[in-house]
Amino acid sequence: MILDDLPVLPVIIPLFAAPICLLLPNTRLAGSFATLIAWVSFAFAAMLLATVAEVGPIEYGLGGWANPLGIVYRVDLAGAIVMTLVSLLASVVFPYAIESARDEIVPSQTSAFFAMFLICFSGLMGVVATGDAFNVFVFLEISSLSTYTLVALGAKRDRRALTAAFTYLVLGTIGATFFVIGLGLLYQVTGTLNMTDLHDRLQGADNKVIRAGYAFIFTGLGLKLAMFPMHRWLPAAYTYAPSAVTAFLASTSTKVAIYAMLRFLFTIFGFSFGFADIAFGFFLVLGLVGMFYASTVAIFREDVKMILAYSSVAQIGYMLLGISFATVDGVGAALVHVFQHAVMKTTLFMAVGAVFFALGSHRLSAYKGLGKTMPVTTGVFLIGGLSLVGVPLTGGFISKWVLVQAAFGSVQAIPSLLIVLMIVASSLLAVAYVGRIAWTMLLEEPTSRTPRKVPLAMMAPMLLMAAVTIYFGIDAEGLVNICRAAAESLLDTGLGYGGAM
């Protein structure tokens, strides 16, 4: 029974657990329960990945309704990887969140905090699992609405969390509206919302309604994933959210939006759609501009969380760049970077959260001399930072390497060599902002304040993520291969999707 239900279990278990979590009386209990649920979901997601890698895509009809009629969950290799990634990060961040939430959230709200965390987690898993275009919207909204609440819960330590959450709410809702308008237009043309069905009916079709729908959908998703000119909500939301929330969101929510974008780009529209080339051109330019703009802004910020948030916008640029190549290598590189960036950003934001726990600040001035007062956290931060720059033996190097390879292997409006030079140049900008933090931590004199001792429940997940960052920097062949296979399944599946390469 359990094996048949694998595609749906990692989505509904956290959704079922969330209301129970809301009723649990104290932080420790609610947090431990949420952690347990995350681990169970991770176990099922890993089983799902193993099954999908063996037998190929799995379909699951909710309510027993057959494929095009009902809502169908369809998990292929790309989906299974992202689900495993999201549940892995949840199972690392949730235990970290217990102590962090006791410190940063009003005690009466911590049960609700973990309930929201679980709902957000469930929504993100749902976006990936579902094979129904409208269901993507529903789950996207489930995760977004809970995210607005999670960001706003940072208000105990900094009231600016409220305005950040409100800005995010307004922009996120505009994004969702655009997305659903696009879906409505497609539904008007095709009369179906099932992804495979949509793909079949859109094959070869091209008219103004479909083009408008295309534009609406990708603008909406662009807002959700903080594509360069639509990234304004992200830095404030990440900066003022509670530490654990930032660690989780930075690594999952934009990644899942990227995944949704890949689904629509390749699974639904495919390459036969004439408008696709224009979109890839846009992603190429916006990705490149985003990389430079956001990295440059990050250099001049005085708040470490803000610096890392802008760096996230820049990193999304790399992913868009990989997607814009529209080749198996390019999309594979984007997926590798999705994974590596998720791991390194969680590491970094967890370290920032530990410093916030110890010193009560995430401003750069608080980081003076941390190398002497908090050596372990500094070490973890530096590992994450090196990975962000792309230094060999860290995860970030691998993803930049495959991205550069993919750039040489594709034909673009901009010459490949120039693109590669720009990737390297923007990495130098990363050296500047990471170096600035590292300088403050290592070479300046400590302030007189002695930091609070960070509990083991926060240190252990942080060290684990640092270890994962290094592990996938050394032994990444498996990861690169599986991401490539996932990209192949996205671009050209047995269902007759697209026809790249």
The contact set with another protein (CB under 8 A) reads: 1, 5, 8, 12, 15-16, 18-20, 22-23, 60-64, 112, 159
User: From the CB of 19, what's the least distance to another protein, in Å?
Assistant: 3
Shortest Å distance, C-beta 108 to another protein: 11
3-state secondary structure of 182: helix
Cα separations (Å) of 194 from 17, 124, 137, 154?
28, 19, 13, 38
- Closest separation in Å from C-beta 130 to another protein: 12
Q: How far is the CB of 195 from another protein (least distance, A)?
A: 19
CB of 179 to another protein, least distance (A): 22
Query: Given the complex with another protein, which of 112 and 370 has the nearer CB atom?
Result: 112
Minimum CB distance to another protein smaller for 67 or for 365: 67
Name all contacts of 17-24 with Cβ < 8 Å and 24+ positions apart.
17/118, 18/115, 18/116, 18/118, 18/119, 18/122, 19/115, 21/111, 21/114, 21/115, 21/118, 22/111, 22/112, 22/115, 23/111, 24/111, 24/114
CB closer to another protein out of 18 and 185: 18
Our CB check for another protein shows the closer of 5 and 302 to be 5
Closer of 63 and 494 to another protein (Cβ)? 63
Per-residue b or e along 69-90, where b marks 16 or more CB atoms closer than 10 Å to that residue's CB: eebbbbbbbbbbbbbbbbbbbb
**CA–CA dist 143, 153 (Å, integer):** 15
**DSSP label of 47:** H
Residue 31 or 287 with smaller CB distance to another protein: 31
Residue 103: CB atoms within 10 Å: 20
Burial class (CB in 10 A: 0-12, 13-18, 19+), 221: buried
The Cα 34–Cα 250 span in angstroms is: 19
Q: How far is the CB of 153 from another protein (least distance, A)?
A: 15
Nearer to another protein, 85 or 127 (CB): 127
Phi, psi at 363, each rounded to 5° = -80, 155
Q: Are 460 and 454 in contact (CB under 8 A)?
A: no
Round to whole Å and give the CA distance between 395 and 416. Answer: 23
SS (H, E, C) 437-480: HHHHHHHCCCCCCCCCCCCHHHHHHHHHHHHHHHHHHHCCHHHH
Closer residue to another protein in complex, CB, 155/434? 155
Question: Which of 108/207 has CB closer to another protein?
Answer: 108
Shortest separation between residue 68's beta carbon and another protein, angstroms: 16
Closest CA to 41 of 67, 5, 1: 5
DSSP count for the chain of H helices, then E strands: 19, 2
Question: H or E element: which one contains 79?
Answer: helix 77-104
What kind and span of H or E run contains 409? none
Least Å distance, CB 18 to another protein, is 7
Q: Which of 64/204 has CB closer to another protein? A: 64
State the nearest-atom distance from the C-beta of 247 to another protein, in Å. Answer: 26
Is the Cβ of residue 146 or residue 493 nearer to another protein in the bound state? 146
Q: Which two tokens stand for residue 330?
A: 């390019």
Q: What's the closest the beta carbon of residue 60 comes to another protein, in angstroms?
A: 7
d(CA 122, CA 21): 14
Rounded to the nearest whole angstrom, what is the least distance from the CB of residue 163 to another protein in the complex?
12
User: Per DSSP, what are the bridge partners of residue 75?
Assistant: 58
